[in-house]
Structure formats: C-alpha cells, structure tokens
Chain A
Amino acid sequence: MLLAFSRRKVRRLFSETADVDEVIETLRYASEDTLTAMVLGRVQYLSAGLAWSLLTGVVQLMRGAMPPEPQECRLEFWPSYEDPEDPGGWVEPDVVWVDPRIVLGIEVKWRGTQDPAQLDKEYRALAQAFPGREVAILALGGMGSTQLDELKTRCATENLLVLSWAKFAQGVRAREAELASGPAKAILSDIALVLAERGLGDTSRLTTFATLPAWPLGLALPWTPIVPHGGFLPLVTLGRHGLERALSPLADWRIA
C-alpha cells in the first residue's frame, strides 16, 4: 500500500469524493492501483523462482516466446519511459520486472479491459529503454473472449503473455498450500487474503444451505412458552404456526 501512497495513486480518490468511507471501500475492494500495490508489492519479496512461477506458471502465451526465468526479483512500480513514437510523451506500465537478461512489463487491469494499443506502446518503450534484453509484456486481468480475440488480431507486441486474476489466485493458493511455515508462506497467505477480498477466494470451504440450522432452532434454547390471546396453549415446538403466533404479541406491542 505504501507504494500506492508514495506514487500518488491514492490522493486522486480523495479529489473525487469527500466521503472517507467511500474512499476506503474503493481502496480496499475496487482500486486497480491498490490491488497492484497489495499483490505485486508483496510478490517482490519472494524469491525470483517463486515469483516467476506465480506470474508465468499458468500463463497463456499469446505471441512470441516465453522469456527465460530471471535471476533476481526486482520489480519497479509505475515507472515512466519515453514513448518512442511520441516525442516528449511518456509510457507508464504498472509494474516492470527488470533483470540483467529479461524485462517483463506487467499491465494490470481490474474491472477495466486490456487495450492492445497500450500493450504495444509499453512493449516499444521497454524495448527502447532496455536494448539487448529480452522484453515481454504480461497482461494481468481484463480479458474476456472478446479481448483475447482482439489481442490475437490487433496486438503487435512480440512476446505477449496473458494471465487472468482467477488463475493467478489459484496459483497463489496452490503454492501456499505446498509451502511449510515461513516468510514465503506468510507472504502468499497475505496475497491470498487480498485476492479473497476481491472475490477471488477459495470457494471449497464456503458454507452451504444444507448446514443451515434446522427449524425449530428454539428447542435447543431456554425459552418462555407463549400464551396466545384467547387462552393458554403452550407451544412445545416452533412450527410455522408457532412463529406466526409468536409474532402476534409483537404486533400488539407499541412504545408510542
């Protein structure tokens, strides 16, 4: 999160609304920049091998070749590069993994969709900024079948990888389960929590309606027998009529 604050990604939310609760909700559940900071900001603490496997292990190679595994994990957040086709213009990928041999630009989308022109522009800017290195672009999120078709037909990026958030989350949970306790497991656990808050959690442990407490729940509780209007009729169970009878005195209860 510090990354998002320090790169002034949070401030603009306050310019859009004065409602602090709304800003907090957006930061936690909706903002693409805070998701980037909370997830990839933690990925950079992992070993190069583990981080690389999370980002490329289940990736879909759309064009070109899969880049080789980097030697070190060094991520830069929202760096700016000159746009080779627009003198004086700048290009800002969300994250760039810079390695002595390879450079991987990561374009993150949350709720938005990937734009082939933006990916091409980032590829060209990185290729110019890092001559002699193998450059690839990873489009993380923002892909449906329509966008995949568009990327296939309209994107000119030479080495293009595509990864959905759902697959990334699945990979994080799988690697977390494999690891023994330690810093890497704690980091993956944190990432999994962030993703779960975005609706990308493990659905295998969810509750089911089959486990809803069976009616009459009240039999397990100390409760006062109800005396309905018109006579004494102790209710030993809370059947459907029991509840409706119970509501009757509530209907008569008035404070004012």
Chain B
Amino acid sequence: MTDAREQLGGALAQLRIGYRLVVAYQRRLLDLARRFEAGVRARHPDLNFERWAPTDWSMPPSGTTNPMPRWAWDFVPLYRCEFRWLTGATPAPGAFWLWLTHYADTGWPAVSKTENDPLGFAEAAGCDTIVWPGVLAIPLGGSVSAPPPSWDALYLSLNSKDEDWMDRVAHERDVDGCTVRWGGFTCSVSELAEPSDVEKNLIEPTLQLLDLAVGRPTGTSPAP
C-alpha cells in the first residue's frame, strides 16, 4: 500500500468517526431545541413553530434537483442553522418572534460568497459551539401600523447592530409605525450539558428577555 493510500485510509477512518459524532450531536441538538420550545411554551402557550433553515447556505435540494453543483455545505444544514417560533402570524401587541440560532463551529468565516473549505478554518479548539436565542417583539400597549407588516419585513427594517442581539437587553425603537423591542444573547453549548443547565443557562434567560420585550413600552429608551 502506498503512503498516500494509507494516509487517506486513516483520514477516512476518522471521517467515519466524525459522521457518527455529528449524528449523535445532531440528535442532541434537536432535543435541545425541543426542550427550549417546551420551556418557552410553558410560559407562552401560544408559541408555534414557524420554520427552520440553514443560516448561511441553502436547504438540501429536493429529490428531483441535481445535487452535484450545489455547495457541500447545503448537505449539513444544522451546522449553522436557526429554529424559529412565533406567537402571532403577524406583529401585534404582546406577540413575539423567537429564534434559536445554532453555530456548530464559530470558525466558519463570517462572510463568504464562495464555498468555504473547512480544511482551512482556524484551529477547532480555539473556536466555540454556540446557540443564540433572539427575540423580536411588539410590547403590550405598543403600536402596530395597519396593515401590519410581516415579521420578516419588520426585522429587515430594523437594520439592527449585531451587538444589540448579545447583551440580554430589550432594545426599543419605532420601526415603520410599529413599536419594536428586540434582543438576544449567546450561550456556549458546553454550558448546556444537563437538563438543569439548559433550564438555567438557556431557557430562564430567554424567558427573562421575553418578559422585558413583551412588557409595557417605556418610550424610546431601552427597557430596564
């Protein structure tokens, strides 16, 4: 056997390990999302799942679409993805749009118009695996323009800064005639080992943020 063949054989053995680990991880990630959903729904029974999607590339192609020209990333949609829920089909006072973004690897380059080669990423040990809850809400007593915009349109008009989604504060602004509050925070998956960790480090802070976001409006200043 040549050196090259041996080397590739070794890499492929580790690839098999990697696949097994990815599937084991994804099972746990989906269950984390279920725990998160159930925890929020216990306080907000009208919470409905809206959609999920990879954040930085396309969904896997359907059975009749030629997959060969597509990015390989399209086939690992959960690597960087978001799960989304809402309590009202359109924005209304007291309604909110909630999402949980998952980055399996913060080493993925932030901006890329081409198919990233993961073999060139920064060393994995120096990166993190995170989830990132975010909330966009119309507070109780807040105003909504008529007809109400879609949540997507509201989010795009908000044109917010990334740091606004990381400081656990419910920011507030008038957007296209709607009173909008938004905020979020990041959490390393390493802090979510046990169900009690998920409750303490993910669900409770999300519920607190939702309380801030859905509570009474405070004018133009951030909510307390």
A residues near B (Cβ < 8 Å) are 19, 21, 110-113, 142-147, 164-167, 198-199, 201, 203, 206-213, 215, 217-218, 221, 223-229, 238, 240, 242-244, 246-253
Contact = CB atoms under 8 A, between A and B. Distances in A.
A221 B19 CA distance: 14
Nearest to A240: B125
Contact of A143 (B16, B27, B45): B45
Contacts of B14: 218, 223, 226, 238, 242-243, 246-247
A71 to B, nearest CB: 31
Contacts of A244: 123-124
9 contacts: A142-B46, A208-B31, A208-B194, A227-B3, A227-B10, A242-B14, A244-B124, A249-B8, A250-B11
Given A227-B6, A244-B123, A247-B14, 6 more contacts: A113-B88, A146-B92, A146-B93, A224-B13, A240-B123, A246-B14
B46 to A, nearest CB: 3
Contacts of B192: 209
A211 B88 contact: no
B46 A203 contact: no
Contacts of B35: 203, 206
Interface in B105-142: 117, 119, 123-125, 140
B156 interface: no
Contacts of A225: 10
Nearest to B85: A199
**Most A C-beta atoms less than 10 A away, residue of B6, B7, B9:** B7
Given A146-B95, A238-B17, A226 B193 contact: no
Interface of B: 3-4, 6-18, 20-21, 24-25, 27-28, 31-32, 34-35, 37-38, 41-42, 44-46, 48-49, 62-63, 87-89, 92-95, 117, 119, 123-125, 140, 189, 192-195, 198
A210 to B, nearest CB: 4
- By secondary structure, the B interface counts as helix
Nearest to B42: A166
A21 B94 contact: no
Given A112-B89, A166-B45, A243-B14, A146 B34 contact: no
A131 B131 CA distance: 56
A143 B46 contact: yes
B153 to A, nearest CB: 19
B51 to A, nearest CB: 10
A138 to B, nearest CB: 15
B34 A144 contact: no
B37 A199 contact: yes
Contact of B46 (A147, A198, A213, A223): A147
Contacts of A212: 21, 24-25, 28
A213 B21 contact: yes
Contacts of B89: 111-113
Contacts of A224: 6, 9-10, 13
A208 B46 contact: no
B46 A209 contact: no
A230 to B, nearest CB: 11
Contacts of A211: 28
